[in-house]
A and B are shown apart, each in its own frame.
Chain A
């Protein structure tokens, strides 16, 4: 049978639709957040980051929203394309200099249907 680790949360969308991927982070002291995209057989690829003094940041076709009150982060992808299919991870860390450790969430599999 399948291993527990293979049961990634999955988001299935139609090509051209907007996608929203959510992440709950754990440490209220974290003040830097990053979204990564990981395709099969490759390392995580940086998408966009945001610091805790902001609640929204936009890139090309992507927007990250940060809600510090409920420790929630989301990634919005506009006009989703088949090439966006991948696992998406949020990651957090503190900027206080005490550690440079980046903590990753468990990931969401985005499946884009043509």
Chain B
């Protein structure tokens, strides 16, 4: 069956630009998560949605980062005024229920030049 889908798979942008990263979770999964992974490191939590609401956004590094999930399915991670330090792989995951295993997409590799 279809897994978590993330688009684009790669994004190159210039410092200061705005970017949007999209996540299509597995159909029927109520919980959705965004993680960020730097080279050689484990994924770092950014934000968790239960349904349409952000239940925990404690991992967002600053107010340049924002995420939405308006209909409880697709989610968009938005980064304003990108900086070179934002370069990383942004991973999305979904789970059937909050305490079910997370299923990850293949990520969007963001490069800020």
Q: Does B39 contact A (CB under 8 A)?
A: yes
Taking CB atoms, residues of chain B closer than 8 Å to A49 are: 101
Which of A7, A44, A46, A105 interacts with B91 by CB under 8 Å?
Answer: A44
Residue A78 at the B interface, CB < 8 A? Answer: no
A100 to B39, CA, bound (A): 24
Binary contact track B42-64/A, C-beta < 8 Å → 1, others 0: 11110010100001101100000
Known: A32-B99, A44-B91, A104-B44. A99 touches B56 (CB 8 A): yes
- Report how many residues on chain B are interfacial, defined by Cβ distance under 8 Å: 28
Interface residues on A, range: 20 to 34
- Residues of chain B with a CB closer than 8 A to A45's CB: 104
Q: Does more than half of chain B's interface fall in helix, strand or loop, or is it mixed?
A: loop
Whether the pair B42, A104 counts as a contact (CB closer than 8 A) is: yes
Contacts of B104 in A (CB 8 A): 36, 43-45
Q: Is B98 interfacial (CB-CB < 8 Å)?
A: yes
Q: Which secondary structure characterizes the binding site on chain A?
A: loop
**A5 close to B101 (CB less than 8 A):** no
- A3 B40 Cβ-Cβ under 8 A: yes
Q: Determine if A106 is an interface residue (Cβ-Cβ < 8 Å).
A: yes
A43 touches B91 (CB 8 A): yes
* Alpha-carbon distance between A103 and B38 when the two chains are bound, in angstroms: 15
Given contacts A43-B106, A44-B43, A106-B42, contact A101 B59 (CB under 8 A): yes
- CB pair A46 B41 closer than 8 Å: no
